[in-house]
Amino acid sequence: MLYSAAVCIRALVVIFVVVLLGTPIGIALTGPVRGTDTAAGLVTAGLALLGVGLPLISVVLARADWSGGTALLDRSAGGPPGIRLREPRTLIRPLAYTVMMLTIGGAIAVFAALIVLVSLVALISPLLTAMGDPVIIGPFTVSTIPQSVLASVIGVAVLTGLVFTSPAFSKAHALLVLQVLTRPEQRLQHDLTLTAQSRARLVRAFDIERRRIERDLHDGVQPQLLSVSMTLGLALAAMPDDAPGRSDVARAQDQAKQTLGALRSFVRNIHPQVLIDHGLGAAIRELADTLTLPIAVEDRLTGRLPTEIETNLYFCVAELLTNVVKHANAGQAEVRLQRPAPGLLEVRVRDDGGGGAGTAHRANGGLDGISDRIAALDGDLEIDSPLGGPTAITITITVPAVEKGHPDD
In this prediction the pTM is 0.51
CA pair distance 312, 54, nearest whole angstrom: 53
State pLDDT tens for residues 247-258.
887 888 788 888
Bridge partner residues of 393 (DSSP): 349, 383
Query: What percentage of the chain exceeds 70 in pLDDT?
Result: 80
Q: Which residues of 316-334 are buried (b: 16+ CB within 10 A; e: fewer)?
A: bbbbbbebbbeebebeebb
- 92 to each of 95, 173, 323, 396, how far by Cα in Å? 5, 19, 54, 40
Q: Give just the sign of the alpha carbon dihedral 390, 383, 344, 397.
A: negative
390 cis-preceded (ω within 30 degrees of 0): yes
State pLDDT tens for residues 152-185.
888 889 888 888 888 888 888 888 888 888 777 6
State pLDDT tens for residues 106-157.
898 888 888 888 888 888 888 888 887 787 777 778 788 888 888 888 888 9
Q: Closest by alpha carbon to 122, among 103, 135, 139?
A: 135
The strands making up 380-384's β-sheet, listed across from edge to edge, are 295-299, 333-338, 344-351, 391-398, 380-384
Q: What is the pLDDT of residue 133?
A: 79
Under the banding of pLDDT at 50, 70 and 90, the label for residue 348 is very high
Task: State yes or no: pLDDT of 365 exceeds 70.
Answer: no
The continuous run of DSSP H or E covering 24 comes out as helix 23-30
Across residues 348-374, what is the average pLDDT? 75
State pLDDT tens for residues 44-77.
888 888 888 888 888 888 888 888 888 887 765 5
Q: What is the pLDDT of residue 126?
A: 84
Under the banding of pLDDT at 50, 70 and 90, the label for residue 349 is very high
Q: What mean pLDDT value characterizes the chain?
A: 80
Under the banding of pLDDT at 50, 70 and 90, the label for residue 206 is low
CA pair distance 337, 345, nearest whole angstrom: 8
Query: What percentage of the chain exceeds 90 in pLDDT?
Result: 3
Q: What is the pLDDT of residue 178?
A: 83
Task: State yes or no: pLDDT of 404 exceeds 60.
Answer: no
CA pair distance 256, 250, nearest whole angstrom: 10
Q: What is the pLDDT of residue 354?
A: 82
CA pair distance 340, 346, nearest whole angstrom: 7
Checking DSSP bridges between strand 295-299 and strand 333-338, what pairing results, if any? Answer: parallel
Most confident residue range from 85-89, 189-193, 248-252: 248-252
CA pair distance 55, 87, nearest whole angstrom: 11
CA pair distance 73, 23, nearest whole angstrom: 38
Q: What is the pLDDT of residue 372?
A: 77
CA angle centred on 181, ends 110 and 56, rounded to 5°: 70
Q: What is the pLDDT of residue 336?
A: 92
CA angle centred on 311, ends 309 and 314, rounded to 5°: 105
Q: Could you tell me which residue, 399 or 220, shows the higher pLDDT?
A: 399
CB 361 within 8 A of CB 314: no
CB 383 within 8 A of CB 364: no
State pLDDT tens for residues 13-34.
988 998 888 888 877 777 665 6
355's CB contacts (< 8 A; 6+ apart) are 385, 386, 387, 388, 389, 390, 391
State pLDDT tens for residues 260-292.
777 766 666 666 778 878 888 888 898 888 888
